[in-house]
Chains A and B, each alone.
Chain A
Amino acid sequence: MNTETHVASGSNLEKVLRSGQFAFTGELGPPRGTNADEVREKAKFLKGNVDAVNITDNQTAVVRMSSWAASLIAIQEGLEPNYQMVCRDRNRLAMQSDILGGYALGIRNMLCLSGDHQQFGDHPDAMGVFDIDSIQLIAMVRQMRDEGLFLSGTEIHQPPKMFIGAASNPFADPFEWRVHRLAKKIEAGANFIQTQCIYNMEKFRKFIHLANEEGLTEKVFILAGVTPMKSVGMARYMKSKVPGMDVPDEIIDRLKGVEKEKVAQEGINIACEQIEEFKEMKGVHGVHLMAIEWEHMVPQIAEQAKVLPRPVFS
Chain B
Amino acid sequence: MIVAQRKPFAEIKDMLQGYNKVLNVGCGTCVSVCLAGGEKEVAVLNTELEMARRLADDPIDIQGHTIERQCDREYLAELDSIIEEGGFDALLSMACGVGIQFLAERYPHIPTFPAVDTSGLAVNQAVGWYEERCRSCSQCVLGSTGGICPITMCAKGLLNGPCGGTNKGSCEISSDQPCAWFRIYERLSGQDRLDAIKKINTARGWKNQTPRNLIQPGYMKPEKMAK
Interface residues of A (CB under 8 A from B): 87-88, 92, 114-117, 119-120, 128, 130-136, 139-140, 151, 167-169, 172-174, 176-177, 180-181, 183-184, 187-188, 196, 243-244
Closest B residue by C-beta to A183:
B198
Instruction: Pick from B159, B167, B201, B203 the residue with the most CB of A within 10 Å.
Output: B203
Shortest CB distance A24–B (Å)? 22
Given contacts A88-B156, A133-B159, contact A244 B200 (CB under 8 A): no
Given contacts A128-B156, A187-B200, contact A177 B172 (CB under 8 A): no
Shortest CB distance A311–B (Å)? 30
Q: Give A244 to B173 CA distance when docked, in angstroms.
A: 12
Contact call A133/B182, Cβ cutoff below 8 A: no
Given contacts A140-B203, A184-B200, A187-B200, contact A135 B160 (CB under 8 A): yes
Q: Give A5 to B163 CA distance when docked, in angstroms.
A: 28
Contact call B203/A244, Cβ cutoff below 8 A: no
In the bound complex, residues from chain A placing their C-beta under 8 Å from that of B167 are 172-173, 243-244
Asked if B158 lies at the interface with its beta carbon under 8 angstroms from chain A, I say yes
Interface residues of B (CB under 8 A from A): 155-169, 171-173, 179, 182, 185-186, 189, 194, 198, 200-203, 206
In the bound complex, residues from chain A placing their C-beta under 8 Å from that of B206 are 131
Contact call B162/A172, Cβ cutoff below 8 A: yes
Given contacts A119-B173, A136-B203, A243-B172, contact A172 B165 (CB under 8 A): yes
Shortest CB distance B127–A (Å)? 29
Given contacts A135-B200, A136-B203, contact A172 B160 (CB under 8 A): no
In the bound complex, residues from chain A placing their C-beta under 8 Å from that of B159 are 133, 136
Given contacts A119-B173, A172-B162, contact A114 B200 (CB under 8 A): no
Contact call A116/B165, Cβ cutoff below 8 A: yes
Q: Give A172 to B198 CA distance when docked, in angstroms.
A: 17
A172 in complex: contacting residue of B157, B166, B194, CB < 8 Å: B166
Contact call A173/B169, Cβ cutoff below 8 A: yes
Instruction: Pick from A131, A133, A136, A174 the residue with the most CB of B within 10 Å.
Output: A133
Instruction: Pick from A132, A151, A243 the residue with the most CB of B within 10 Å.
Output: A243
Apart from A136-B160, A244-B167, what 9 extra A-B contacts exist at CB < 8 Å?
A114-B165, A117-B173, A139-B202, A172-B162, A172-B165, A173-B167, A173-B169, A174-B182, A184-B200
